[in-house]
């Protein structure tokens, strides 16, 4: 499978973000979304979580110092895996996720399969 990996460009005008107290969740209260990362216990990140208006989206990947996010051909909300998110909304969600990780000082890579 020909996987392609792209470093995401630095976002210079980050949205107004803050970190929740005693939590790893990054919140953009102005726009109503939040983002956090999870680990399966190995100390390396393996889940990327985005929430907006009560809906949740989970992407896989791995990360340490640099975050490698696997982007499927169609993003879907976790509660409706059969309905793809529209392209403009999907781009906005991915932008928000990159902004949250860069706000935390991380480099972000997107990996995707070119054949799918």
Where along the chain do its domains lie?
Answer: 3-113
> Is residue 28's pLDDT more than 80?
yes
Mean pLDDT of the chain: 87
Q: Work out the average pLDDT over 42-70.
A: 85
Does 11 or 67 have the greater pLDDT score?
A: 11
> Is residue 115's pLDDT more than 70?
no
**pLDDT score recorded for residue 116:** 53
> Is residue 42's pLDDT more than 80?
no
pTM of whole model > 0.85? yes
pLDDT band at 68 (very low <50, low <70, confident <90, very high): confident
Pairing mode of beta strands 55-63, 66-70: antiparallel
> Is residue 19's pLDDT more than 70?
yes
Measured at the alpha carbon of residue 61, what is the angle toward residues 5 and 51, in degrees to the nearest 5?
A: 110
**pLDDT score recorded for residue 43:** 66
**pLDDT score recorded for residue 55:** 95
Beta-sheet strands, E only, within the chain: 3-7, 18-19, 26-28, 33-39, 45-52, 55-63, 66-70, 107-113
């Amino acid at each position: 499978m020909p996987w392609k990996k792209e470093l995401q460009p630095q976002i210079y005008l980050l949205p107004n973000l803050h970190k929740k107290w005693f939590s790893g969740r990054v919140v953009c209260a102005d726009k109503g979304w939040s983002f956090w990362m999870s680990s399966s216990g190995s100390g390396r990140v393996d889940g990327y979580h985005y929430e907006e208006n009560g809906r949740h989206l989970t992407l896989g990947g791995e990360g340490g110092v640099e975050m490698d996010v696997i982007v499927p051909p169609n993003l879907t909300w976790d509660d409706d895996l059969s309905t793809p998110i529209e392209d403009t909304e999907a781009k906005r969600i991915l932008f928000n996720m990159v902004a949250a990780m860069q706000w935390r000082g991380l480099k972000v890579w997107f990996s995707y399969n070119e054949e799918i």
